[in-house]
Structure 1
Amino acid sequence: MKKVMLVFGTRPEAIKMCPLVNELKARTDEFETVVTVTGQHREMLDQVLRVFDVTPDHDLAIMKPGQTLFDVTCDVLLKLKAVLEDETPDVVLVHGDTTTSFAAALACFYLQIPVGHVEAGLRTHDIYSPWPEEFNRQAVDIVSEYYFAPTEASKQNLLGEGKLESGIWVTGNTGIDALRTTVREGYSHPELDWAEGSRLILITAHRRENLGEPMHRMFRAIRRVMEEHPDTKAIYPIHMNPLVRKAAHEELDGFDRLHIIDPLEVLDFHNFMAASHLILTDSGGIQEEAPSLGKPVLVMRDTTERPEGVAAGTLKLVGTEEDVIYREFSRLLSDQAEYEVMSHASNPYGDGHASERIADVIGGK
């Protein structure tokens, strides 16, 4: 029997790792499954754990007010050492591109414990965009033994860097697995009741590289377009970062067809996506989830590590310039043919069975 430890610490990681946790735990004859959370996000992480009924075996509880990348990296590295030495797992699974994943992979490297990278091979090829995520995921792939690539394009990125094909498996994305659990018929919420009868715009914005003037430009563009389309309403579940909140309130307060609300639990957020007309985001995971729900996505970033969605027509990269966002957002609201093309494009990110494939690989099937 293999002892498998999963390490994660943020809400996006938890959404994508909890389906894998539950798949591994269901195979009690194959795996001893150990869950370690770092608490890089606290409240938002705990929400996801509740939805998927996952109870951590270890909680490093690193989050503190005003934490920096230095704090997160050092605290994960130092606190995880004792857990790894006590548990001695056969393999440690980390996800994606967070600082938790980078520091956990580094700790495993120092202790010579094999690492499996879930969502391996995503690249923008610019280590400052997104920052620090592009560096984190490249660094994790340097020390990994198992590469679970969500798409063929991700596999090709890894091969191009000299990774051995025998260690790469194209599994699909575990985020699509999560939607099978969370999106529900008959779901209701007071905010969706408020938006009923309007075209609902769902907004997320939080990335570090967009803080400051880029975020102000994004919000101004959104408000301009919505002022010209009275049949729209928007919901913005806002990030906990005080700099994000300050920019949002400065640009969006006083506009009664846009509700700024506290972060939603994952079950709620996925059902809000399902009820929306289109989505504006600078997030990563939403670029994968929304297409499987048939929702066009305007990505308010200058680069994306998910070019498959752009190629498939489900995503459009619009950057952070006000006039570009204004033009592309307006077009999707005014041009039904353009909207139909994006909403009916195929989803390149998987079929909802990625966790099963990953478990099969780890189990030697």
Structure 2
Amino acid sequence: MQPLKVLSVFGTRPEAIKMAPLVKMMEKDPRFSSRVCVTAQHREMLDSVLALFDITPWKDLNIMKHGQTITDITVRTLAGLQEILKDYRPDYLLVHGDTTTTFVASLAAFYEKIPVGHVEAGLRTGNIYSPYPEEMNRRLTGTLATLHFAPTQQNREHLLKENVAPDQIFITGNTVIDALLSVIQPDYDFRDEKLNRLVSEREAHPLVVMTCHRRENWGAPMEQIFEAVCRLARRYPHYRVIYPVHLNPAIGKLAETTLGREPNVHLIQPLDYAPFANLLNAATLILTDSGGIQEEAPALGKPILVMRTETERPEAVAAGTVQVTSVETEAIFRAAVHLLDDPVVWEKMARAVNPYGDGQASRRIGEALLYGAGHLSAPPDKWEGERKNNRDYC
């Protein structure tokens, strides 16, 4: 039997992180003929992940341009993939999650009648403009996909409500746990003396790690978020807040003029994946408007406050390890104070259920691809969501 030809297409750092363990698994398995095409919707951030996981793309569309719009990304990706798919014709095209690259690559494959496998399928907020444009990207990709790799049972239920056939959905867990567990180290060297010092002193000066960059939070919502963090910094002067600031100049300017005034808030450059994951592992509390961190923090046993109005990852909210605060200053501040002032509440949140995986998602996806192509007689085992923290797997 010929190896299954799989072309994985991704373009951003989060996609690369979550696709890397799957790509590496297929590289080692003779049942697959695996190739990678990157769009470079992000450039430097993508390249750092490719280097970390030793992935060399077969094709690189290199579409990133300064000041690019969503339309620019769409047009250049669709045009760039057209000839590649016509010539190579993989058995499956794999995409991940919710980026514009994901949707457009799925559309390009549909035009060539190539089946699409959607990794991290079935996440929904119910609001097409939040997160924007990610929510609609996910829905459109779900419409185009043949195989749906849902991290959780709830994701499967979303797909069933959208009339996806049950035998096309596989519950696999999330590949981000596979990636995360591969880079966490107990005595990680950050290669930055300031970060090493901050982490080494965390017993006396606990760390709050924050990220804030979402498009729907630009402007007034981000001002409210930063004001909440300023209030926290003043209330807890012995704590240290570390914020890897997004490269968007508008975000950087606002961060400097607000958060930069607080002596215990440390604004740093964006981190590559391995140091960032290990920084999360050193935190007492995580504040974020990101999506992927909502999956990573539960695996590390870290309470997380999500500074958004809704989340497409409600499983961790239901489990108790994530709380959605809204973007209002007072709500964020009160939620953080409640956690930091009450060790019982903090411990309960830190020890809550991790619903996202056991580090075996890549294997399950690979087996589902082989099963879908008729190369295996039985489907993969299903991720059931064990009632323990993923720290137990480390």
SS in 1 for 2:261: coil
- Report the counterpart of residue 19 of structure 1 in structure 2: 21
Q: How do 1:54-73 residues align onto structure 2 when only pairs under 5 Å count?
A: 54-73=55-74
Runs of 4+ in 1 over 2 A off after TM superposition: none
Distance 2:88 2:245 in 1: 37
> Bigger shift: 246-255 or 218-227?
246-255
> Bigger shift: 146-155 or 187-196?
187-196
- Report the counterpart of residue 5 of structure 1 in structure 2: 7
- Report the counterpart of residue 389 of structure 2 in structure 1: none
SS in 1 for 2:118: strand
SS in 2 for 1:32: strand
- Report the counterpart of residue 299 of structure 1 in structure 2: 306
Q: Name the amino acid aligned to 1:255.
A: E
Q: Name the amino acid aligned to 1:155.
A: R
- 2:234 corresponds to 1:224: no
> Bigger shift: 135-144 or 196-205?
196-205
Q: Name the amino acid aligned to 1:25.
A: E
- Report the counterpart of residue 148 of structure 2 in structure 1: 147
Deviation at 1:14, TM superposition (A): 0.6
Number of residue equivalences: 364
Distance 1:120 1:239 in 2: 26
SS in 2 for 1:301: coil
Return the match for 1:205 from 208, 212, 220: 212
**5+ long unaligned stretches in structure 2:** 377-394
Q: Is the 8 A contact 1:4 1:34 kept in 2?
A: yes
1:13-68 CA distance string (max 9 Å, x none):
111000100011110x2111010010011111111111111111111000010011
> Bigger shift: 85-94 or 137-146?
85-94
1:145-181 CA distance string (max 9 Å, x none):
0000000000000011110000000000000000121
Q: Is the 8 A contact 2:306 2:326 kept in 1?
A: yes
- Report the counterpart of residue 126 of structure 1 in structure 2: 127
Q: Is the 8 A contact 1:9 1:40 kept in 2?
A: yes
Distance 1:92 1:13 in 2: 14
Distance 2:73 2:98 in 1: 14
**5+ long unaligned stretches in structure 1:** none
- Report the counterpart of residue 343 of structure 1 in structure 2: 350
Q: How do 1:88-99 residues align onto structure 2 when only pairs under 5 Å count?
A: 88-99=89-100
1:56-114 CA distance string (max 9 Å, x none):
11110000100110101111111111111121111000000001101111111111110
Deviation at 1:192, TM superposition (A): 3.6
1:217-252 CA distance string (max 9 Å, x none):
101101111111122001111111122212211211
- 2:54 corresponds to 1:53: yes
Q: Is the 8 A contact 2:16 2:49 kept in 1?
A: yes
Distance 2:50 2:268 in 1: 21
- 2:194 corresponds to 1:194: no
Deviation at 1:324, TM superposition (A): 0.5
Q: Name the amino acid aligned to 1:58.
A: K
Distance 2:325 2:49 in 1: 29
Q: Name the amino acid aligned to 1:24.
A: M
Distance 1:270 1:201 in 2: 14
Q: Is the 8 A contact 1:202 1:234 kept in 2?
A: yes
Return the match for 2:336 from 310, 320, 329: 329
- Report the counterpart of residue 243 of structure 2 in structure 1: 236
Deviation at 1:332, TM superposition (A): 1.2
Q: Is the 8 A contact 1:192 1:272 kept in 2?
A: no
> Bigger shift: 128-137 or 328-337?
328-337
Q: Name the amino acid aligned to 2:17.
A: I
- Report the counterpart of residue 170 of structure 1 in structure 2: 171
Q: How do 1:243-258 residues align onto structure 2 when only pairs under 5 Å count?
A: 243-258=250-265
Distance 2:198 2:170 in 1: 44
Distance 1:249 1:97 in 2: 30
Percent identity, please. 50
- 2:139 corresponds to 1:138: yes
- Report the counterpart of residue 280 of structure 2 in structure 1: 273
Q: Is the 8 A contact 1:212 1:247 kept in 2?
A: no
Q: Name the amino acid aligned to 2:264.
A: R
Q: Is the 8 A contact 2:99 2:137 kept in 1?
A: yes
Distance 2:245 2:74 in 1: 25
Distance 1:67 1:36 in 2: 20
- Report the counterpart of residue 101 of structure 1 in structure 2: 102
SS in 1 for 2:246: coil
Q: Is the 8 A contact 1:80 1:104 kept in 2?
A: yes
TM-score, normalising length from structure 2? Answer: 0.91
RMSD: 0.9
Distance 2:196 2:71 in 1: 40
Deviation at 1:185, TM superposition (A): 2.1
SS in 1 for 2:266: strand
Distance 2:254 2:164 in 1: 42
Distance 1:133 1:42 in 2: 19
Q: Is the 8 A contact 2:233 2:262 kept in 1?
A: no
- 2:84 corresponds to 1:78: no
